[in-house]
Amino acid sequence: MKEIQKKITNLREQLHQHNHLYYIKDNPVISDFIFDQMLKELQDLEKQYPQFYDPNSPSQRVGGGVTKSFETIVHRYPMYSLSNTYTKEELIQWQTRIRKIVGNEIKMSYTCELKFDGASISLTYENGVLVQALTRGDGIQGDAITTNVKTINTIPLKLKGDFPKFFEIRGEIILPWEGFNKINKKRAEQGEPLFSNPRNTASGSLKLQDSSLLAERPLTCFIYSVIADELLIESQFEALKKAKEWGFKVPDSASLVNSIDEVFEFISKWDKKRKDLPYEIDGIVIKVNQLSLQKELGFTSKAPRWAIAYKFQAEKVATKLEGVHYQVGRTGAITPVASLNPVSISGTIVKRASLHNHDYIQKLGLRVGDTVFVEKGGEIIPKITGVEPKNRPNKSQEVIFINNCPECDFPLVREEGEAQHYCKNEDACPPQQIGKIQHFIGRSAMDIEGLGGETVSLFFNEGLLLNITDLYSLKEEQILPLEGMAQKSVKNLLKGIDKSKEKPFSKVLFGLGIRYVGKTVAKRLAKSFGTIKALIDADIETLTKTHEIGNRIAQSVVEFFSKSQNLEVINKLSLFGLQLEEFTNLSKSKDIFKGRKFVVSGVFKNYNREEIKNEIEILGGIVSSSITSKTDYLVAGIGIGPSKKSKANNLNIPIISEKDYLILKNNGV
């Protein structure tokens, strides 16, 4: 048993080190595949030997804990806000004030740091282990979100080097633009309301009850402060260097300067460069560097005297609000969109801007004809951030949120706790009907070749498609007379529809468009319940007992299957021969391919290509259409293209035959 414990400990230490090299140092020394294999081995051992449980094991990064409520805890050291300034004159005045306290003869330096636009977090470490994570809250007390924070890879669970026995460290949780845009793209595809900005998304993510959902969002954390009763550090800049040595992610942009003129140079530099950053910043934080002087300067009732934030002016332009129209998403979510007099922002012409929801319109106090201020960051749609009332026309018209769906005239509903209004006429509202079919045929669902969103809209408007089941009744003679339809493309389209019947149960389940059931959740449900019948029969209690399924998802699933029209759709899909259960011969198999990335190409003797792809996914693998450096295997059948082989050889990726694949599967390696 001691050997087992030693093995578990060694695996944890190695994985902590590799996490540090990958997320903090940006210098991985092993492949993703090897890392995933080590993690799987650790997870298997921890499951087999629960007596060796460690809350700070690398296995906890994936989340899975569901928190019904967050405990409010008083901060050991208050989390003050910063005083803001928008001009260099005010910065000089700040310097003058602090000089009056410490004296002009004292040599003073400053640290200049980027002001990240995210959510502040306080992390407590004891003996080098993360023991508590608190939100800022009101500065006096915050919510304990330790379980959620453990899913963020840039927050170390165990520290390295020479660190204090007990201390707090503070940072900013942010969501980079790339991750934010991917999340919003996915939500747009699923008919969900878009998130307004990365800051709010990051902040809201930290309070998700299901930590596994947080683990799917690419949050990161930048450290900006170290606090302890006994801290053998003399300056802020030294504290940042030490934090980096202990294993935290500290921005390389932080700079030590010796005069207010150098502060201005730093501000000017980053005001120009901020547009090129992969994340959002809204200013620069200037701190007196010497901790002894910070102690002498102390605090006001609201903020430290020794620090100040210089805020950048947001890039915004003024234009005229021409009107407001409303979009209906696949789920019935109503999104108001402003029509603008075209204006150039960051080199692109902007004609519309998101207004998000009813409350946002009310907050702005919008009227048609208003001069509005428009900003564009990384959002898919720019947003209106303010109104200039002085320029308001005498006969301007108040923007009043609609009461009925703009497409089907059905009364809108706003559920308790929701910011969004919804049209509940899901079976007769055209955009919802079209959106559901478009979702069903999408790449992440049935991936029907030859059928795109525009074609779905055409078929719907022609009366050929009213719901997803109609796809499997389409005939060549119905489609050929339509504009732009050629015989060859129609045959390929029908062939693609027929081939979609081979897609695994998890993809069909995702394709049904159940609210909150994304790709990952669909796979978990398919694997846990095995058949659509078992899922239909499951109640909320049964569902929430399932690994990583929270109450919100469970309620949505039960509600979906309680509707007779949805059950009718499922019955028809079954009659058409779609896969509504996991492959029984594989369902009991272990995740022998977990984390491994495959590309499948060519013609096979014992499988068609879709079957082998489905099998890989059922066994935990990931199937991609293109070869990258992260691909683990190219499964090559007869007639594989030479370009794929060549690329695999150039990247030293193993090329395996159908026979090799079967050996790999049967041996579990």
Catalytically active residues are 115
**How far is the C-alpha of 427 from the C-alpha of 569, rounded, in Å?**
11
Residues in the chain: 669
Residue with tokens 């959510």: 119
Long-range Cβ contact pairs of 346-353 (< 8 A, separation 24 or more):
346/275, 346/315, 346/376, 348/376, 350/319, 350/374, 350/376, 350/382, 352/381, 352/382, 353/381, 353/382, 353/383, 353/384
**How far is the C-alpha of 452 from the C-alpha of 441, rounded, in Å?**
8
**How far is the C-alpha of 81 from the C-alpha of 78, rounded, in Å?**
10
**How far is the C-alpha of 326 from the C-alpha of 328, rounded, in Å?**
7
**How far is the C-alpha of 513 from the C-alpha of 438, rounded, in Å?**
10
- Tokens describing residue 109: 């330096």
The secondary structure of residue 21, as a DSSP letter, is I
Residue with tokens 């049904």: 512
Q: CA 429: distance to chain centroid?
A: 29
Rounded to 5°, angle at Cα 262 from 259 and 263: 90
Amino acid at 587: S
**How far is the C-alpha of 60 from the C-alpha of 56, rounded, in Å?**
7
Q: Which helix (H) or strand (E) holds 188?
A: helix 177-189
Q: Check if the beta carbon of residue 175 is closer than 8 Å to that of residue 203.
A: no
**How far is the C-alpha of 84 from the C-alpha of 94, rounded, in Å?**
10
Q: How many CA atoms lie within 13 A of 298 on its CB side?
A: 4
> How many other C-beta atoms lie within 10 A of the C-beta of residue 569?
17
Angle, to 10 degrees, between the axis of helix 430-441 and the axis of helix 453-461?
Answer: 140
Q: Which helix (H) or strand (E) holds 507?
A: helix 505-511
Amino acid at 365: G
Residues 6+ apart with CB under 8 A from 647: 627
**How far is the C-alpha of 518 from the C-alpha of 541, rounded, in Å?**
20
Q: Check if the beta carbon of residue 598 is closer than 8 Å to that of residue 632.
A: yes
**How far is the C-alpha of 116 from the C-alpha of 618, rounded, in Å?**
41
Candidates 538, 492, 548, 597; CA nearest to 212 is 548
Transcribe 608-661 into DSSP letters: -HHHHHHHHHHTT-EEESS--TT--EEEE-BT--HHHHHHHHHTT--EE-HHHH
Candidates 150, 251, 137, 255; CA nearest to 203 is 137
Q: How many CA atoms lie within 13 A of 586 on its CB side?
A: 22
If DSSP codes are grouped into helix, strand and coil, which group holds residue 390?
helix
Candidates 443, 444, 458, 442; CA nearest to 490 is 458
**How far is the C-alpha of 177 from the C-alpha of 175, rounded, in Å?**
7
